[in-house]
Amino acid sequence: MRSISYSVLLCMIFITFILNSACMFTATQVKRTPIELTHPVVYKELSLKPQVGVLKTEDDIVNGLLQAKVILKNMVNWTVNCEVKVKFRDKDGFDLEDPWGWFPLTLESSELKTFTRIAPSPEAVNYTVIIQKASIDR
């Protein structure tokens, strides 16, 4: 029977202690940026994601106002009824007043549609497009 040297035994005990100590600490709070601030398109219901594809998002300046444009495609073989909304934000990340609300959109099988909105004020610097199921489908 081979004996383990004293230093090897101490190292094993030390490593075991460190590994067990690391497992005792847990996060008490996870800070996460809201998805609407990090993604140009948000699906309120994940079941819509495979049905309504976002082919492209673009922005432009029209008469000094930010314009949001998104090209949507029905990815399934049936009609999809959804609603689309654009949230514009200022340089500090605050939502600007939304004068339009939700826009109903019907996409036939494989149909492409372009959805465009212009910011309500020149303070808008970015936006998020939000897609949800149509009210009649919820």
How much is the pLDDT for 40? 82
Q: Is the pTM above the cut of 0.75?
A: no
The CA dihedral of 71, 75, 79, 85, to the nearest 10 degrees, is: -40
Q: Is the dihedral of CA 8, 13, 14, 16 positive or negative?
A: positive
How much is the pLDDT for 1? 46
- How confident is the chain (138 residues) per 10-residue block, as mean pLDDT? 64 64 54 60 90 91 94 95 95 90 94 94 94 77
Domains and CATH numbers, the chain: 39-137 (2.60.40.3230)
Q: Could you give the CA distance from residue 58 to residue 64 in angstroms, rounded to a whole number?
A: 16
